[in-house]
Amino acid sequence: MKKPELVVTPHHLDEIEALIEAGADAFIVGDEKFGLRLAGYFNKEELDAAIQLIKSHQKKVYLAINAIMTNALLNELREYLEEIKTWEIDALRFSDPGAYMLAKEIMPDMTLQWSSETLGTNYFTVNYWYDRGVRRTILAPELMKDSVIETKRHAKGEIEILVHGAICMFQSRRLLVGNYLKFQGQVVQTVQSREQGLQLFDPDRQLYYPVFEDEQGTHIFNGSDVCMIDDLAEFIEAGVDAFRIDGVLKSREYLLAVTKAYRFAIDLFFEDEVKYRQVGVALYKKMEEIQPTARLLDRGFFYKPSIYKNK
């Protein structure tokens, strides 16, 4: 068995070194214009500095260009890729086929990763992209555990899954909340930062659904965070290539603590699988202790079938 890569999404340049010390293997970074729902966005100067820092520690840099692309945005992406095509980036993470085409044209030797959002739900699609030069697929977080394992069993390329963090349940390119507040005559500066701000409350489920708006539009997240720290064994045994910790909507202190904990859990599994299984409850409880009070931890969709059923 090989150790899965531990992938994180940093908020700022100045926290990268601490995350490396905490055990992160790879970093997802990107510009707000082209990257979707990252914990923090990096302009070109910050990106250049981040790449140099990360590579000096022999870690990996994945550049997110996974936004919903318009014609105009693809033209801007072309200029962006031309400017950075000689930089020491390990992979581009795309969602739109238009971004894929530009990446293949401008950076033909670059490793590509398909950030599938809700579409990466089967190994046929994984292999479709692999046959077109895509090395890794980031699977949809709505997949159950058995489906993830089956997909890995038949996949030609690498797969990555979300093991800790929030799942986005809605996106619109429109600034829905901001426009509504303006209609009400309110002064709007920012609807939601990635650490605090507006939340929708469901009184029936007693859950809060975070909302933020940025250059990509309006994003609404589910009311709890996925946590699989005590339940990684079957994924590791199946050969899942990468585990992602998503820092969006979380503080830098939280992301650092979670990264340390997952580094410990992965390493412990390889050192002593029996002990890893024995301390699972304690590991999960540690995550509960640092969890924001308004958000619970759960298993996401790994044990919960979606509303869609096979006929």
Q: What is the pLDDT of residues 234-250, one digit of tens each?
A: 999 999 999 999 998 88
Domain residue spans of the chain: 5-167+225-274, 172-218
Residue with the bigger pLDDT between 47 and 183: it is 47
Cβ within 8 Å of residue 22, ≥6 positions away = 256, 259, 260, 263
Segment 212-234, tens digit of pLDDT: 777 777 777 787 899 999 999 99
Residue 129's pLDDT is 97
Among 34-38, 198-202, 221-225, the range of highest mean pLDDT: 34-38
pLDDT of residue 181: 56
Cα–Cα distance, 8 to 147 (Å, whole number)? 23
Q: Please say whether the beta carbons of 56 and 88 come within 8 A.
A: no
Buried b / exposed e along 193-206 (16+ C-beta atoms within 10 A): ebbeebbeeeeeee
Q: What CATH number has the domain spanning 5-167+225-274?
A: 3.20.20.330
Where b means 16+ CB within 10 Å and e means fewer, 24-49 reads: bbbbbbbbebbbbbbbbbbeeebbee
> What integer is the mean pLDDT of 174-193?
56
**Residue 217 falls in which region: left (phi positive, over 0), alpha (psi -120 to 50) or beta:** left
The position carrying tokens 């693809």 is 74
Beta-carbon neighbour count of residue 186 at 10 Å?
9
CA angle 159, 161, 167 (to 5 degrees): 145
Instruction: Please name the residues in contact with 70: beta carbons below 8 A apart, sequence gap of 6 or more.
Output: none
Check pLDDT > 90 for residue 168.
no
pTM assigned to the model: 0.89
Residue type at 196 in one-letter notation? Q
Amino acid at 68: I
Looking at per-residue confidence, does 292 or 8 come out higher?
Answer: 8
What backbone phi and psi angles, to 5 degrees, belong to 273?
-60, -40
pLDDT of residue 12: 94
With residues binned 3-state (H G I as helix, E B as strand, rest as coil), the percentages for the chain, rounded to 5, are 35, 25, 40
Question: Which residues are registered as beta bridge partners of 134?
Answer: 112
- Looking at residue 216, the DSSP 8-state letter turns out to be T
- Binned at pLDDT 50, 70 and 90, residue 311 comes out as very low
pLDDT, tens digit (0-9, with 9 covering 90-100), for 115-163: 987 789 999 999 999 999 999 999 999 999 999 999 999 999 999 999 9
Q: How do residues 9-28 score in pLDDT, each as one tens digit?
A: 999 999 999 999 999 999 99
- Residue 201 banded pLDDT, cuts 50, 70, 90: low
Structure tokens, 48: 């250049």
pLDDT in tens, 256-309: 999 999 999 999 999 999 999 999 999 999 999 999 887 889 999 899 886 555
Task: Give CA–CA dist 202/206, Å, rounded.
Answer: 5
Residue 166 has pLDDT above 90, yes or no: no
